[in-house]
């Protein structure tokens, strides 16, 4: 996945609490078997007036003009500003894939559903938790200022507003290292491939019947 260290990006707001993963990416798109192609269906039922199925051309669908992702001022946004319990509902990782494919690299909210937060970290998206009062003030600023941007410094664990105000956020060291290095758990494990191979050779030498059993299968 793409490493994350610094981000300065336009902010798109989704001013609703308890946004669930079925709203982020509706269930019919779970029939898609790859890991790409989900971006056009992000917030599908909120973005479009016409229903669709996987493979439908979204360019021909009627859009909901008031929805933020359809507004010109938010096109190209890399940070999504949300409300409490963002990403609740099912554990579908596809919701994170859709956000990432649309261009989101970080999310800011008062809280995230636990599984959704984990899926973000495994796919290179940074979920930033800030106090309710700070998030509400950011919503006001985004609404009042076209082209409103935030800057995120993952190394310093700060998020900065345009006028210079900064807010600290918490992230555990392991998740931070994953994002900075652009590695998920499998990638981190494969860093130790030489040690793993040496262990396997030693184990087979001590217990050779294990290798025979594996070969028989």
pLDDT, tens only, 182-217:
987 777 777 778 878 888 888 888 888 777 655 544
Distance between CA atoms of 67 and 24, rounded to whole angstroms?
Answer: 13
95 is written with which tokens?
A: 């919701």
Give the pLDDT of residue 213.
Answer: 55
For residue 216, what pLDDT is reported?
Answer: 46
Residue 131 lies in a domain: yes
pTM, whole model, 2 decimals?
Answer: 0.88
Strands 126-129 and 106-109, bridge-based pairing: parallel
Report whether 121 contacts 56 (CB < 8 A): no
127 in Cβ contact with 121 (< 8 Å): yes
Predicted pLDDT of residue 51: 93
**Residue 206 and residue 103 share a domain:** no
Q: Tokens 């559903």 appear where? A: 113
pLDDT score of 1: 84
104 and 196 assigned to the same domain: no
Tokens matching residue 15: 């001013």
The structural domain count of the chain equals 2
The pLDDT profile of the chain, 217 residues, written as one tens digit per residue, is: 889 999 999 999 999 999 999 999 999 999 998 889 999 999 999 999 999 999 999 999 999 999 999 999 999 999 999 999 999 999 999 999 999 999 999 999 999 999 999 999 999 999 999 999 999 999 999 999 999 999 999 999 999 999 999 999 999 999 999 999 998 777 777 777 887 888 888 888 888 877 765 554 4
Q: Tell me, yes or no, whether 206 lies in a domain.
A: yes
Q: What Cα–Cα distance (Å) separates residue 134 from each residue in 111, 137, 138, 139?
A: 12, 5, 6, 9
Which 3 state secondary structure label does DSSP give 170?
coil
Angle 139-19-73 from CA coordinates, rounded to 5°: 40
Let me know if residue 1 belongs to a domain: no
Alpha helices in 31-163 (DSSP H): 44-47, 94-102, 114-122, 132-144
* Residues 64 and 169 grouped into a single domain: yes
- The confidence score (pLDDT) of residue 214 equals 52
Q: Which two tokens stand for residue 68?
A: 């933020």
> Domain of 202?
184-217
């Amino acid at each position: 996945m793409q490493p994350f260290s610094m981000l300065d990006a336009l902010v798109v707001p989704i001013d609703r609490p308890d946004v669930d993963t079925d709203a982020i990416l509706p269930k019919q798109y779970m029939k898609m078997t790859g890991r790409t192609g989900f971006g056009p269906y992000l917030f599908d039922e909120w973005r479009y007036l016409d229903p669709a199925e996987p493979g439908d051309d979204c360019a021909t669908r009627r859009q909901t003009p008031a929805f933020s992702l359809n507004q010109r001022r938010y096109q190209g946004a890399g940070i999504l500003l949300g409300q409490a319990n963002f990403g609740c509902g099912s554990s579908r990782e596809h919701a994170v894939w859709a956000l990432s494919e649309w261009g989101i690299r970080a999310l800011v909210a008062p809280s995230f559903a636990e599984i959704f937060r984990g899926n973000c970290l495994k796919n290179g998206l940074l979920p930033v938790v800030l106090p309710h009062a700070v998030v509400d003030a950011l919503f006001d600023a985004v609404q009042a200022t076209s082209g409103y941007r935030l800057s995120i410094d993952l190394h310093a664990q700060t998020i900065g507003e345009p006028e210079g105000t900064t807010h600290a956020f918490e992230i555990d060291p392991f998740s931070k290292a994953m994002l900075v290095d652009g590695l998920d758990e499998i990638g981190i494990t494969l860093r130790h491939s030489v040690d793993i191979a040496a262990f396997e050779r030693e184990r087979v030498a001590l217990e050779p019947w294990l290798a025979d059993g594996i070969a028989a299968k």
